[in-house]
Amino acid sequence: MIVKKLREKRNWSQEQLAIMSGLSTRTIQRIESGNKASIESLKSLASVFEIDISKLKEEIIVIDKSSESWKSESPFVRWFFWGVKARKQVLNMEFLCLTLGILSWIIKPDIVATPAFFLMAYIFATMKYYIDRKKHW
């Protein structure tokens, strides 16, 4: 997350950034965890960091695939997240697979489709957790 990287680069705490930007600490936490930020919040952060707001708009939801830590990831992880930019995309796929699994279980249980949907939901959740833990968002 670009906001967290910029904050840590300056050795600021979340509380310090909140005071300087006029935002709440909880808002800073939400933005750093990948939630969407309002335009007003982005303007405040851009002002504090002395950068153009477009930089925050572009990078706030994107995996930093140019970083060395991303390049050192296994080919499977990079393949799995090929084309994925936002964390929300992975959340949507996880939710879709879970919903389809529940529907297929309720409507007409299938020995293949129902477990496959639940397995895919589990895989998306696990991969999302892995990328969250590695702080690639």
* pLDDT above 80 (res 99): yes
Q: Which range in 24-28, 62-66, 68-72, 109-113 is most confidently predicted, on average pLDDT?
A: 24-28
Interatomic CA distance for residues 96 and 102, integer angstroms:
10
User: 66 falls in which pLDDT band (50, 70, 90)?
Assistant: confident
Q: What's the CA gap between 27 and 35, in Å, rounded? A: 9
Q: Which amino acid is at 6?
A: L
Q: Is the pTM of this model over 0.85?
A: no
For residue 37, how many other CB atoms are within 10 A of its CB? 22
